[in-house]
Amino acid sequence: MANAVSEKINLSQGLVHKQKLNILLLSWEYPPNVVGGLSRHVFGLAVHLAHEGHVVHVLSAGNGVLPEYERADGVHVHRVKPINDHDDHFLTWIGGLNLAMAFKGEQLADEVKFDLIHAHDWLVGTAAFALKEVTGIPLLSTIHATEHGRNNGIHTEIQQFIHDKEQSLIESSDQIIVCSYFMKESLMSIFQVEEKKLAVIPNGIEPPYIEGKAAAVFSDLPKRKYIFSIGRIVKEKGFETIIKAAEIAMEKGQKFLFIIAGKGPMLDIYRRQVEERKLGEYVVFIGYITDKERDVLIQGCEMMVIPSLYEPFGIVALEGMIQEKPVIVSNAGGIKGIVRHLQTGLLINPGDAESLLEQISFLTINAKVANEIGKNGGRAARSLYGWRRIAADTSRVMEDTILNSRVNINGIT
């Protein structure tokens, strides 16, 4: 027993004194290829891990235009094309991407002695599991959201397929990171994950460098104040709540302008709803915008609204808070853990348009309080969610994962 304890201590000391880790990070999206918030998270983490002195290789999807390899912001970025690149069926496309990622990852592992594989969500789960099996490298996974949570249950064959992929990744991972205590509880409930296998590390944010004015993004803005919202245009983001709130405001003679940015399968449906209800002067869906355009529009808004019905974390709330804008968010999921009501933001009942209008009216009438809430939110965002802190916390989880893997291989308990 004494020898086992001594060996465990030696392993720990060896890892602590290690100058750097060689990390293979798997993500299906990575800037400038941006689909949703996952790519921004992976980018922030990769860059700041590299700044800490680790050697970070990101393996992601290519599009035939971006280079297959480049070193950007201190990160080695490798892009592969799915084997069936032109397949319109997303799940088949993802399968082809995982095959290509697994093949490329094995090649990289022959060239670089990786200490850890870090996978992000089920979309790269098959490649992550295959690489772990082939190389023997420990696997750390970050689960950003679940199919069960997005749909309030599993109801279709496709949802079941994704759910099963999530289950496989979770079971094959040595350690799992989630972005909120809400997500921790979700994984423990839905997948029966042991608590000791879960680490909670929030997403990170940094103050943006802003160039330009909001009018350059949306030409109608110089004439009116506006409330800003942004996200993937899907049902769980709750944009129907904004449409309903605008309808009530119109009936009451209140004049609010909601600017909503983002793309997604519900975009045309919501635009038709706005047109049919004659809300064109109240709600405008402007479609996809760049990160720089997003930051400019946040800078110019009176407040931000994030009316999500399901939100594992809610990075968009931090994007408003970091610019000291008062934010109104749903009292749901992980996002409610970011905001303290009437201190760093305001909470609404999910899906409740009347509740949303009450909070908007409160901030509109109480400008001094709104300003103070914005400043408090900015301080919270900078102190609790800075990327330097997030990367350092993630490094510690990575070190623990590697150490525990070595201990298990050597049969030490």
Lowest mean pLDDT among 15-19, 208-212, 262-266: 15-19
What's at 215, amino acid-wise? A
* For residue 410, pLDDT beyond 70: no
Say what the pLDDT of residue 37 is: 78
Q: Give the β-pairing of 69-72 and 75-80.
A: antiparallel
Residue 69, Cβ density class (10 Å: 0-12 exposed, 13-18 middle, ≥19 buried): exposed
What H or E segment, with its residue span, contains residue 70?
Answer: strand 69-72
Residues 261 and 114 in one domain: no
What would the mean pLDDT of 329-335 be, rounded to a whole number?
Answer: 84
Quickly state the pLDDT bin for 213 (edges 50, 70, 90): confident
Q: Are 271 and 291 found together in one domain?
A: yes
Same domain, 221 and 293: yes
Among 85-99, 176-190, 280-294, 329-343, which is the least confidently predicted range?
A: 329-343
**Has residue 38 been placed in a domain?**
yes
Residues 251, 199: one domain?
A: no
- Same-domain check for residues 316 and 403: no
pLDDT band at 222 (very low <50, low <70, confident <90, very high): low
Quote the pLDDT of residue 411: 58
- For residue 356, is pLDDT > 70? yes
Identify the pLDDT of residue 186: 94
Residue 231 lies in a domain: yes
Average pLDDT, the chain: 91
Cα separation of 90 and 82, whole Å?
11
Cis bond upstream, residue 312 (ω within 30): no
Say if 308 falls within a structural domain. Answer: yes
Q: Do the domain assignments include residue 209? A: no
Bigger pLDDT: 161 vs 315: 161
**Residue-level pLDDT at 5:** 40
Is residue 154, in this structure, part of any structural domain at all?
A: yes
- Judge if 114 and 222 occupy the same domain: no
Give mean pLDDT, residues 365-393.
Answer: 94
Sign of CA pseudo-dihedral 204, 209, 213, 217: negative
- Which pLDDT score is estimated for 63? 84
Query: CA nearest 230: which of 300, 305, 280, 284?
Result: 305
Half-sphere exposure of 348 (CA within 13 A, CB side): 27
Q: Is the pLDDT of residue 243 over 70?
A: yes
For residue 27, which phi and psi values (nearest 5 degrees)?
A: -150, 135
Spell out the alpha helix ranges (H) of 173-218: 181-190
**What percentage of residues in the chain have a pLDDT greater than 90?**
74
Q: Which residues pair with 258 in a beta bridge?
A: 227, 283
Band of pLDDT at residue 4, cut at 50, 70 and 90: very low
- pLDDT in the model for residue 118: 98
CA nearest neighbour of 327 among 301, 306, 348, 353 = 306
| Count of domains observed in the chain | 2
Please report whether residue 311 resides in a domain: yes
Q: How far is CA 209 from CA 180, 189, 293, 296, 322, in A?
A: 27, 40, 11, 9, 11
Q: Which is more confident, 221 or 127? A: 127
DSSP bridge partners of 60: 79
Mark whether 397 and 358 lie in a shared domain: no
Give the sign of the dihedral formed by CA 64, CA 66, CA 71, CA 75: negative
153 and 141, same structural domain? yes
**What pLDDT is attached to residue 409?**
63
Instruction: Determine the pLDDT at residue 14.
Output: 44
What distances in angstroms separate CA 397 from CA 7, 57, 361, one per listed residue? 20, 18, 43
Task: Give the integer Cα–Cα distance in Å for 142 and 131.
Answer: 16
pLDDT of residue 209: 83
For residues 380 and 391, membership in a common domain is answered with no
Give the residue among 276, 331, 340, 337 at the shortest CA–CA distance from 306: 331
pLDDT band at 31 (very low <50, low <70, confident <90, very high): very high
Residues 6+ apart with CB under 8 A from 326: 303, 304, 320, 345, 346, 363, 370, 371, 373, 374, 377
Question: Confidence band (pLDDT; 50, 70, 90) for 313?
Answer: confident
Residue 9 reports pLDDT greater than 70: no
Rounded distance between C-alpha atoms, residue 273 and residue 275, angstroms = 5
Same domain, 355 and 397: no
From 218-222, 263-267, 301-305, 358-362, the region with the lowest mean pLDDT: 218-222
Does 173 lie in the same domain as 51? yes
Sheet order of strands, 303-306 included: 283-287, 258-261, 227-230, 303-306, 327-330, 346-348
328 within some domain: yes
User: For residues 236 and 229, what is the distance between their CA atoms, to the nearest angstrom?
Assistant: 14
Conformation bin of residue 400: beta by default, left when phi > 0, alpha when psi is -120 to 50: alpha
The residue range of the domain holding 404 is 2-204+387-409
Summarize pLDDT for 81-136 with one digit per residue, the tens: 999 888 889 999 999 999 999 999 999 999 999 999 999 999 999 999 999 999 99
Residues 168 and 223 in one domain: no
User: Mean pLDDT over residues 375-389, rounded?
Assistant: 92
In angstroms, the CA 87 to CA 34 distance is 19
Conformation bin of residue 208: beta by default, left when phi > 0, alpha when psi is -120 to 50: beta
Domain assignment present for residue 135? The answer is yes
CATH code at position 350? 3.40.50.2000
Q: Show the DSSP H helices in 207-340 as ranges.
A: 239-252, 267-276, 291-300, 315-321
Q: Reply yes or no on whether the pLDDT at 287 is more than 70.
A: yes
Report which DSSP code applies to 33: B
- pLDDT for position 334: 75
| Per-residue model confidence (pLDDT) at position 15 | 47
